[in-house]
């Protein structure tokens, strides 16, 4: 049996890039027979950037609703909120005491922001240590993440090995599970789709706002009548990230034939988003309107995760000399 674990920060509503790059592949892995998955909402990590309690709470529900809308089976697996299992912060402290300063100073997540040190909080600096605790507390084997998380996973492996070396064999050494078939999805401006670039497609918006979201995709000024280059078109790139091969081939032909404007292409993308994610959008809205149901599901997950975490911490405490 393999134990799969991954987390998504509650720093916004999951966008099409998060869904195709992280959420769908993690759910596919959870369905493989013999696998057990733990998925959690990394609200403690989100606290390094989100300082508004209402927004944090809303984002947490939004991430939970997304996992459920995409079919995560909480009978077979565990879905929980990171902050509901505070054991993780205890393990994080023990790991902090084994973490060399230069290792953290070398993390991309810190280095990217280190030009303005006054803006870097200690939580952001020690972010990879909490992430390590998230993983090894549950003896997870495989961690499905995007390529941007590889360095954090290397640190998690190093710290788990260091603990095992110092105190004797205690933790499973986790392995990243990077899906090479999953491309980085580009955003409305052609850069990587990301909450921090404000260029996302939010499939959970209502039809009217989703239309506005799609209409805002940046295109060039090739006149309507002329054939168009699909390969560098942001609308086409987003469409081809989730359309069938047949739909993609048809759209290519329309671009090449001319008399097909970017407005037409955007309408095709909008229709496909609405058709392809019909069930997920309905389920998502259901959960967002019934957050007490989300609370119940998260409570069950928190209880299961707490049990596992407490068992492991007992062993850890005795190993370190408490």
Q: Does 149 bind ligand ADP (CB under 6 A)?
A: yes
Closest by CA position to 134, among listed 102, 168, 98, 174: 174
Active site annotation includes 228: no
CB-nearer residue toward ligand ADP: 146 or 190: 146
Sign of the Cα torsion 233, 239, 243, 246 reads negative
Nearer to ligand TRP, 134 or 280 (CB): 134
Nearest to 284 by CA among 63, 78, 74: 63
Q: What character string, x for contact with ligand ADP (CB under 6 A) and - otherwise, covers 101-130?
A: ------------------------------
Closest by Cα among 69, 8, 15, 24 to 297: 69
Contacting positions for ligand TRP (CB under 6 A): 5-7, 9, 42, 45, 131, 134-135, 143, 145, 149, 152
DSSP secondary structure of 118-143: GG--HHHHTHHHHHHHHHHTTT-SEE
Chosen residue from 129, 131, 155, 193 binding ligand ADP by CB under 6 A = 193
Output 9 or 77, the one with its CB closest to ligand ADP: 9
Q: Of these partners, ligand TRP, ligand ADP, none, which one is at the site of residue 3 (CB under 5 to 8 Å by kind)?
A: none
Q: Examine residue 45 and tell whether it contacts ligand ADP (CB under 6 A).
A: no
CA-angle at 56, arms to 50 and 59, nearest 5°: 115
Residue 224, Cβ neighbours under 10 Å: how many?
A: 12
3-state secondary structure of 249: helix
**Residue in 24, 162, 177, 192 annotated catalytic:** 192
Active site residue 113: yes
Structure tokens of 74? 């909480």
**Would residue 195 show up in a list of annotated catalytic residues for this protein?**
yes
How far, in Å, CA of 26 to CA of 9, rounded? 15
| DSSP class of 231 | G
Q: Which residue's Cβ lies closest to ligand ADP?
A: 146
With respect to ligand TRP, which residue has the nearer C-beta, 5 or 288? Answer: 5
Which residues are catalytic, by number?
113, 192, 195
Contacts to ligand ADP by CB under 6 A: 8-9, 17-18, 21-22, 145-146, 148-149, 184-185, 192-196
């Amino acid at each position: 049996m393999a134990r799969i674990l991954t987390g998504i920060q509650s720093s916004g509503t999951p966008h099409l890039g998060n869904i195709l790059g992280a959420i769908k592949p993690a759910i596919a892995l959870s369905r493989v027979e013999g696998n057990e998955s733990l998925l959690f909402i990394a609200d403690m990590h989100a606290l390094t950037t989100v300082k508004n309690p209402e927004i944090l709470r809303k984002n947490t529900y939004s991430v939970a609703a997304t996992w459920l809308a995409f079919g995560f089976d909480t009978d077979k697996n565990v879905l929980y909120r990171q902050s509901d299992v505070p054991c993780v912060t205890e393990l994080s402290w023990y790991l902090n005491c084994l973490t060399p300063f230069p290792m953290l100073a070398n993390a991309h997540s810190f280095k990217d922001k280190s030009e303005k040190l006054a803006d870097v909080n200690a939580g952001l600096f020690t972010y990879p240590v909490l992430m390590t605790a998230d993983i090894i507390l549950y003896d997870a084997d495989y961690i499905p993440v995007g390529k941007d998380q590889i360095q954090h996973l290397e640190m998690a492996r190093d710290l788990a090995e260091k603990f095992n070396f110092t105190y004797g064999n205690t933790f499973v050494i986790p392995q990243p599970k990077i899906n090479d078939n999953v491309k980085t999805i580009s955003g409305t401006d052609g850069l990587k789709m990301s909450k921090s670039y404000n260029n996302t497609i939010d499939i959970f918006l209502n039809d009217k706002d989703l239309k506005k979201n799609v209409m805002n995709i940046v295109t060039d000024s090739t006149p309507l009548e002329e054939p168009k280059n699909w390969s560098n078109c942001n609308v086409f790139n987003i469409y081809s990230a989730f359309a069938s091969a047949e739909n993609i081939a048809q759209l290519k032909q329309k671009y090449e034939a001319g008399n097909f404007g970017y407005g037409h292409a955007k309408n095709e993308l909008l229709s496909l988003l609405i058709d392809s994610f019909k069930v997920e959008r309905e389920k998502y809205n259901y959960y967002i309107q019934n957050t007490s149901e989300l609370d119940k599901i998260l409570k069950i997950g928190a209880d299961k995760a707490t049990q596992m975490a407490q068992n492991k911490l007992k062993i850890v405490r005795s190993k370190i000399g408490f």
